[in-house]
């Protein structure tokens, strides 16, 4: 039997999801806090893209919170990065970011798609 470090409830080990012990209800509540979300966001930016929160915010400000491709306001901005070289290229709206991904970041395929749209548009 363990005691939740947050609420003090005592229960079986399967009731707890981490060490030090937290009950599922307390862990769920913690994950909804702005502090936890900010910490998680900072961790993801660094782990996935090598960006600090400050560098990310600088990119957002430098692009005036607008997508580098379609120029619409981004909510939230998506980090666009090269999958082969790993560097950050800029920030995109979710539609442009997914579009590049679906075209496998291939300029040739995108050019073919553009030509297709011009002919069949």
The pLDDT profile of the chain, 121 residues, written as one tens digit per residue, is 778 888 888 877 656 556 667 788 888 899 999 999 999 999 999 999 999 999 999 999 999 999 999 999 999 999 999 988 889 999 999 999 999 999 999 999 999 999 999 999 8
Q: Is 121 exposed, middle or buried (0-12, 13-18, 19+ CB in 10 A)?
A: exposed
pTM of the predicted structure, to 2 decimals: 0.78
Which residues are within 8 A (CB) of 21 and not within 5 positions of it... i.e. 6 or more apart?
2, 3, 4, 5
Half-sphere exposure of 23 (CA within 13 A, CB side): 14
Fold of 52-120: 3.40.1800
Domain range summary for the chain, segments of one domain joined by +: 52-120
Which tokens in the block code for residue 100?
A: 């590049």
The answer to whether residues 20 and 13 touch, using CB atoms and an 8 Å cutoff, is no
């Amino acid at each position: 039997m363990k005691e939740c470090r947050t609420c003090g409830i005592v229960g079986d080990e399967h009731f707890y999801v981490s060490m030090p012990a937290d009950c599922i209800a307390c862990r769920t509540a913690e994950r909804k806090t702005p502090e936890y979300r900010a910490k998680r966001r900072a961790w993801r930016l660094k782990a996935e893209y090598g960006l600090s929160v400050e560098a990310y915010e600088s990119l957002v400000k430098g692009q005036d919170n607008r997508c580098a491709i379609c120029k619409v306001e981004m909510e939230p901005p998506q980090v666009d990065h090269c999958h082969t070289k790993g560097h950050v290229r800029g920030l995109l709206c979710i539609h442009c970011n997914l579009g590049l991904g679906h075209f496998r970041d291939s300029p040739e395929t995108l050019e073919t798609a553009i030509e297709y749209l011009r002919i069949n548009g």
